[in-house]
């Protein structure tokens, strides 16, 4: 897997090759996943880092890997049950062994507007102490808590997905720093990294 950490100019962050270091509470990183396995590994590491109340927002077209990443996250949280896309029922709930909080896997694909999300009471899920992973999170953007890790997944060709991470707030920035290890582990040596298409 190839990893490039980027510092979009608006983030005011200190760029370190293979790592993430923030000067402010808003940091970003971009990772190129070259297989479903890569995405699962990144998700799993993220899942291991998650604590009660953490919110992970996923944005990306159908097939971009949102559910795959969520499966990795669930594995990292110790969920043994198979994690499938909750597309038809909006929310799947998973108990976490030894924890008082749950994992809510929320899929807003069938939610057409923020008003609908609001009316459905979805906000309740991410207002408590549970871990939430939200697919199609942009459909409820104005209802989301201010602190969250936003991950945009982009199709970059057969087997390739670009994962753009944006940490909004101190806690998501900590998660992102915690991920620097997996970026290094699976990222190979800088000189062997292929070029990653520029992010818009
Ligand atoms: N690098 C990759 N990361 C994630 N999925 C990938 C990757 N390359 C190919 N795939 C495939 O793309 C599909 C992603 O599906 P899924 O995770 O359900 O997407 P979404 O939830 O965004 O609609 C799967 O069939 C998976 O095997
Ligand atoms: Mg999905």
3-state SS of the chain is CEEECCCCHHHCEEEECCEEEECCCEEEEEEEECCHHHHHHHHHHHHHHCCCCCEEEEECCCCCCHHHHHHHHHHHCCCCCCCCCCCCCCEEEEECCCCCCEEEEEECCCCCCHHHHHHCCCHHHHCCCCEEEEECHHHHHHHCCCCEEEEEEEECCCCCEEEEEEEECHHHHHHHHHHHHHHHHHHCCHHHCCCCCCCC
Q: Is residue 155 part of a domain?
A: yes
Q: Is residue 198 part of a domain?
A: no
| pTM higher than 0.75 | yes
Domain ranges, residue 78 = 2-186
Residue 54: per-residue pLDDT: 97
Residues 65-118 pLDDT 10s: 999 999 999 999 999 888 988 666 789 999 999 999 999 999 999 888 888 888
Structural domain total, the chain: 1
CA–centroid distance, residue 35 to ligand 1 (Å):
8
CATH number of the CATH domain containing 143 = 3.40.50.300
Q: Is residue 34 part of a domain?
A: yes
Residue 114: per-residue pLDDT: 82
Q: Is residue 169 part of a domain?
A: yes
Q: Which ligand is nearest to the CA of 90?
A: 2
Give nearest CA residue, ligand 1 atom 8: 159
Residue 26: per-residue pLDDT: 61
Give the Cα-Cα-Cα angle 82, 85, 87 (nearest 5 degrees).
Answer: 150
Residue 117: per-residue pLDDT: 80
Ligand 1, atom nearest to 60 Cα: 22
Q: Which ligand is nearest to the CA of 68?
A: 1
Give nearest CA residue, ligand 1 atom 13: 63
Please list every protein residue whose CB sits less than 6 Å from any atom of ligand 1: 33, 35-36, 38-39, 60, 62-68, 85, 135, 159-161
Residue 24: per-residue pLDDT: 47
CA–centroid distance, residue 22 to ligand 2 (Å):
30
Q: Is residue 194 part of a domain?
A: no
**Which residues of the chain fall short of a pLDDT of 70?**
1-26, 86-88, 186-200
Q: Is residue 191 part of a domain?
A: no
């Amino acid at each position: 897997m190839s990893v490039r950490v980027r510092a979009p100019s608006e983030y005011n962050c200190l760029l370190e090759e293979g790592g993430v270091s923030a000067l402010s509470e808003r940091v970003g990183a971009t990772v190129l996943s070259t297989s479903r396995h890569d995405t699962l590994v990144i998700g799993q590491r993220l899942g291991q880092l998650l604590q009660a109340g953490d919110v992970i927002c996923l944005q990306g077209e159908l097939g971009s890997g949102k559910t795959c990443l969520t499966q990795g996250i669930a594995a990292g949280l110790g969920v043994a049950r198979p994690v499938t896309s909750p597309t038809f029922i909006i929310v799947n709930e998973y108990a976490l062994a030894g924890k008082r909080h749950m994992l809510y896997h929320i899929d807003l694909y069938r939610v057409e507007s923020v008003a609908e999300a609001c009316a459905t009471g979805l906000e309740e899920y991410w207002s408590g102490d549970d871990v939430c992973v939200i697919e199609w999170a942009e459909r409820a953007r104005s209802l989301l808590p201010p602190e969250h890790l936003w991950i945009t997944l982009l199709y970059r060709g057969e087997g390739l997905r670009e994962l753009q991470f944006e940490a909004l707030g101190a806690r998501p920035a900590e998660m992102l720093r915690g991920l620097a290890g997996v970026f290094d582990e699976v990222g190979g040596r800088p000189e062997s990294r292929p070029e990653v298409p520029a992010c818009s």
